[in-house]
């Protein structure tokens, strides 16, 4: 290090590794590297890390099937092209099903309004109106399926000790 | 016919103008040209294969919806990468809470090295390539979002500092420091397994 | 219609009043549903110990597994209480913790409840929630015996 009258500079070495240095800096780091085993080691580690990560990406890509992306995207594009009037029309296309479907819905409504149970659930199981406390953090989440509310809090260090 | 599309012969200007016209073949070319590269970015950030495939699809659909806003201030690839990164980060934010629960132990400092001696991380498994792969991804996931994104753009895509700065709209110096930090941290995290 | 109603019942007004009464009763039935709210508090220890799923928690575990990674769920205790409005019920929790529940009112299909957790008489937090009839909420976080405590609170009225 000292032989080169130059100190180790990991940030500069990193840019050297990425070939992001100008000619002067590049020459300076190259010169320093010749006599600095620790920087040589750091450079080798960067190379190993880079190869390892590149290898990982390659493996992941080779194990992934991309064929459906094109079909899915093009289908969405085609659907997006259809004017809204046609989309609306297609919604009402099976007219003969409308009356039976309506009758079925009416029967369901009548049935549930008579028995009054179960009440259809809308929204999360619990709505949090307010939350105050001597805690270090709180997170409110819902389960994905039936939207059960979960409050997760971390007690303060003081509380933990107590 | 469509299977024989040669993505190399389409220059960017021609591709962009056809995309703006809504040409389906142009979209096919775009997808074939960029799907793997965008997947790499998405996977490097999310580490979820299926989610990454969904994100890539969403990116191409967004391109379809917004291609008219593309002004050629930057390269098409930069624009695509930018949309991908944004999609991934939105996805991360949406699911961050859940990830917090999934990572055990819950209140452990994210920067702690993996526990040695447990079944998952036994050094004896170092020669198992699958295991190395898993350890690399897991430790990549321990990097802060911004450092990981820069690292992925550099290592998966081989982008220069200027290109990364352009995609993420940050300064070149910030790219350099984040990349340095990411490598330093990863080497520390992987020290027991690899270096 | 008016003729039919008048013909059978003399005047439509009583019929309309009756219908209105049924409607109002139906709408506010939950408010008149009785003097109390049934509340069940289940204290659960969730941990990464060897896989164990308490059969009494099967439904809850299925829900929790979608967001948590724990392999073991044990029911430590269960408290049942029937509380009137503004009446406070208490459930003892591990490590000198106490959960106080106070129903405030019923609003449609939800009961407004105040939940308070105390530790050695010191309030850790309080929250006011609107819990669906037959709905549950899970409050968790305190560390306990190498795992975490979860308090699952359900109500019906």
- Residue C42 phi, psi (nearest 5): -110, 125
Given B70, B102, B134, which residue is the final one in a domain? B102
Q: In this model, does residue B99 exceed pLDDT 50? A: no
Q: Do B97 and B111 sit in the same domain of this protein?
A: no
| CA atoms of B64 and B27, how far apart (whole Å) | 8
Q: In this model, does residue B151 exceed pLDDT 90? A: yes
- How near does any CA of chain C get to the CA of A117, in Å? 11
More confident residue, B51 or C102: C102
Given B60, B79, B102, which residue is the final one in a domain? B102
pLDDT band of C9, cuts 50, 70, 90: very low
| CA atoms of B37 and B166, how far apart (whole Å) | 17
Q: Please indicate if any CB of chain C lies within 8 Å of the CB of B9.
A: no
Question: Sign of the CA dihedral A100, A105, A110, A111?
Answer: positive
**Are residues A151 and C99 in contact, defined by beta-carbon separation less than 8 angstroms?**
no
More confident residue, C11 or B24: B24
Q: In this model, does residue C14 exceed pLDDT 90? A: no
What is the reported pLDDT for C89? 92
What is the reported pLDDT for B192? 74
DSSP state of A125: S
What is the reported pLDDT for B36? 93
- Average of pLDDT values for B143-169? 91
Q: In this model, does residue B168 exceed pLDDT 90? A: yes
What is the reported pLDDT for C32? 45
Annotate A63-93 with b (16+ C-beta within 10 A) or e (fewer).
Answer: ebeeeebbebbbebbeeeeeeeeeeeeeeee
Domain count of the fold of chain B: 2
Q: Please indicate if any CB of chain A lies within 8 Å of the CB of C95.
A: no
Q: What is the CATH number of the domain that holds B93?
A: 1.10.1740.10
pLDDT band of C36, cuts 50, 70, 90: confident
What is the C-alpha end-to-end distance of chain A, expressed in Å?
Answer: 53
Q: What is the CATH number of the domain that holds B135?
A: 1.10.10.10
Q: In this model, does residue A26 exceed pLDDT 80? A: yes
* Structure tokens given for B5: 């599309």
| CA atoms of B61 and B66, how far apart (whole Å) | 9
Q: Please indicate if any CB of chain C lies within 8 Å of the CB of B129.
A: no
Query: At a CB cut-off of 8 Å and minimum separation 6, what does C61 contact?
Result: C53, C54, C73
Query: Taking the CA atoms of chain C, what radius of gyration do you get in angstroms?
Result: 22
ipTM at complex level: 0.75
Q: In this model, does residue B23 exceed pLDDT 80? A: yes
Instruction: Work out the percent of chain A whose per-residue pLDDT is above 70.
Output: 74
Q: Which residue from B61, B137, B183 is facing A76, i.e. has the nearest CB?
A: B61
Q: Tell me whether residues C141 and A154 touch, CB distance under 8 A.
A: yes
Among the listed ranges A153-157, B187-191, C68-72, which one has the minimum average pLDDT value?
A153-157
- Average of pLDDT values for A12-20? 92
Q: Do B65 and B140 sit in the same domain of this protein?
A: no
Count other Cβ atoms within 10 Å, centred on residue C157: 21
| CA atoms of B153 and C113, how far apart (whole Å) | 50
**Are residues C76 and C99 in contact, defined by beta-carbon separation less than 8 angstroms?**
no
Q: Do B76 and B11 sit in the same domain of this protein?
A: yes
Q: Please indicate if any CB of chain A lies within 8 Å of the CB of B171.
A: no
Q: Do B94 and B131 sit in the same domain of this protein?
A: no
Q: Please indicate if any CB of chain C lies within 8 Å of the CB of A114.
A: no
Q: In this model, does residue C26 exceed pLDDT 70? A: no
Cβ-Cβ contacts under 8 Å, C117 against chain A: 133
pLDDT band of A151, cuts 50, 70, 90: confident
Helices B49-66 & B76-102 angle (0-180, nearest 10)? 140
Among the listed ranges B72-81, B144-153, C23-32, C56-65, which one has the minimum average pLDDT value?
C23-32
- Average of pLDDT values for B46-62? 90
- Average of pLDDT values for A21-36? 91
Place of tokens 């198992």: B128
Q: How far is CA B142 from CA A134, B36, B86, B111, B126, in A?
A: 29, 24, 19, 7, 20
More confident residue, B192 or C143: C143
Q: How far is CA A71 from CA A76, A81, A136, C55, in A?
A: 9, 15, 48, 45
Cβ-Cβ contacts under 8 Å, C141 against chain A: 151-155
Q: Do B123 and B57 sit in the same domain of this protein?
A: no
**Beta-sheet strand order (sheet of C97-107):** A126-133, C122-132, C110-119, C97-107, C89-93
More confident residue, A31 or C26: A31
Q: In this model, does residue B12 exceed pLDDT 80? A: yes
Q: Do B111 and B187 sit in the same domain of this protein?
A: yes
DSSP state of B67: G
* Structure tokens given for B96: 């961050």
Highest mean pLDDT out of B124-138, C1-15, C113-127? C113-127
| CA atoms of B48 and C82, how far apart (whole Å) | 46
Q: Do B90 and B115 sit in the same domain of this protein?
A: no
Helices B145-155 & B161-168 angle (0-180, nearest 10)? 130
Q: In this model, does residue C44 exceed pLDDT 60? A: yes
Cα–Cα nearest to C46, from C157, C156, C146, C155: C146
The pairing of beta strand C37-47 with beta strand A135-142:
unpaired
Average confidence score pLDDT of chain A = 77
Count other Cβ atoms within 10 Å, centred on residue C121: 7
Instruction: Specify the pTM.
Output: 0.49
- Which structural domain range is residue B24 located in? 1-102
Q: Do B68 and B147 sit in the same domain of this protein?
A: no
More confident residue, A134 or B117: A134
* Residue C124 parent element (H or E): strand C122-132
* Structure tokens given for C110: 């939800």
The SS3 assignment for C79 reads strand
Q: Please indicate if any CB of chain A lies within 8 Å of the CB of B192.
A: no
What is the reported pLDDT for C10? 46
Q: Do B42 and B94 sit in the same domain of this protein?
A: yes
Which segments of C1-153 does DSSP mark as H helices, in order? 2-9, 12-27, 58-64
Given B72, B102, B132, which residue is the final one in a domain? B102
Query: Taking the CA atoms of chain B, what radius of gyration do you get in angstroms?
Result: 19
Q: Do B62 and B2 sit in the same domain of this protein?
A: yes
Q: Do B134 and B91 sit in the same domain of this protein?
A: no
Q: Do B190 and B115 sit in the same domain of this protein?
A: yes
The pairing of beta strand A126-133 with beta strand C122-132:
antiparallel
Q: In this model, does residue C56 exceed pLDDT 90? A: no
Q: In this model, does residue C116 exceed pLDDT 50? A: yes
The gap from C-alpha B34 to its chain's centroid, in whole angstroms, comes to 13
Average confidence score pLDDT of chain C = 80
What is the reported pLDDT for B189? 85
Question: Which residue of chain B comes nearest to C69, CA vs CA?
Answer: B102
- Which residues make beta-bridge pairs with A142? A149
pLDDT band of B195, cuts 50, 70, 90: low
- Average of pLDDT values for C29-39? 64
């Amino acid at each position: 290090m000292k032989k080169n009258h130059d100190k180790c500079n990991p940030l500069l070495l990193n840019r050297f590794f990425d070939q992001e240095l100008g000619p002067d800096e590049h020459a300076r780091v190259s010169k320093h590297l010749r006599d600095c085993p620790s920087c040589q080691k750091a450079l080798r580690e960067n190379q190993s890390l880079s190869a390892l990560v590149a290898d990982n990406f390659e493996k992941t890509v080779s194990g992934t099937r991309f064929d459906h992306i094109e079909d899915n995207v093009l289908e969405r594009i085609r659907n997006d092209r259809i004017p809204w009037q046609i989309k609306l029309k297609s919604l009402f296309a099976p007219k003969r099903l409308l009356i039976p479907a309506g009758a079925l819905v009416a029967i369901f409504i009548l049935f549930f309004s008579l028995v009054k149970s179960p009440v259809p659930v809308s929204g999360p199981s619990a709505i949090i109106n307010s939350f105050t406390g001597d805690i270090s953090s709180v997170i409110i989440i819902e389960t994905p399926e039936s939207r059960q509310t979960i409050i997760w809090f971390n007690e303060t260090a003081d509380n933990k000790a107590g | 016919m469509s299977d024989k599309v040669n993505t190399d012969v389409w220059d960017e200007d021609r591709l962009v103008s056809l995309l703006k016209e809504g040409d389906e073949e142009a979209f096919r070319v775009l997808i074939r040209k960029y799907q793997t590269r965008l997947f790499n970015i998405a996977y490097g950030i999310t580490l979820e294969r299926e989610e990454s495939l969904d994100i890539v699809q969403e990116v191409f659909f967004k391109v379809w919806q917004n291609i008219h806003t593309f002004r050629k201030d930057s390269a098409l690839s930069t624009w695509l990468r930018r949309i991908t990164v944004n999609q991934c980060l939105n996805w991360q934010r949406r699911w961050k809470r859940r990830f917090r629960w999934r990572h055990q132990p819950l209140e452990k400092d994210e920067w702690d090295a993996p526990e040695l001696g447990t079944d998952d991380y036994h050094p004896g498994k170092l020669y198992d390539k699958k295991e190395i792969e898993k350890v690399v991804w897991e430790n990549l996931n321990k990097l802060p979002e911004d450092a990981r994104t820069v690292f992925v753009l550099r290592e998966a895509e081989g982008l220069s500092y200027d290109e990364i700065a352009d995609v993420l709209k940050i300064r070149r110096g910030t790219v350099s420091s984040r990349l340095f930090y990411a490598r330093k941290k990863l080497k520390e995290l992987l020290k027991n397994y690899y270096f | 219609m008016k003729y039919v109603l008048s013909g059978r019942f003399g005047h439509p007004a009583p019929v309309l009043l009756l219908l209105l009464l049924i409607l109002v009763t139906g709408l506010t039935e939950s408010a008149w549903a009785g003097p109390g709210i049934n509340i069940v508090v289940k204290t659960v220890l969730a941990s990464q110990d060897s896989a164990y799923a308490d059969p009494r928690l099967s439904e809850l575990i299925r829900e929790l597994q979608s967001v948590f990674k724990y392999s073991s769920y044990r029911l430590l205790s269960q408290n049942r209480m029937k509380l009137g409005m503004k009446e406070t019920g208490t459930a003892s929790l591990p490590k000198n913790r106490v959960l106080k529940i106070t129903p405030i009112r019923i609003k449609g299909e939800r009961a407004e409840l105040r939940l308070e957790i105390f530790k050695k008489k010191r309030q850790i937090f309080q929250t006011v929630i609107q819990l669906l009839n037959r709905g549950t909420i899970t409050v968790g976080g305190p560390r306990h015996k190498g795992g975490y405590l979860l308090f699952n609170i359900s109500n019906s009225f």
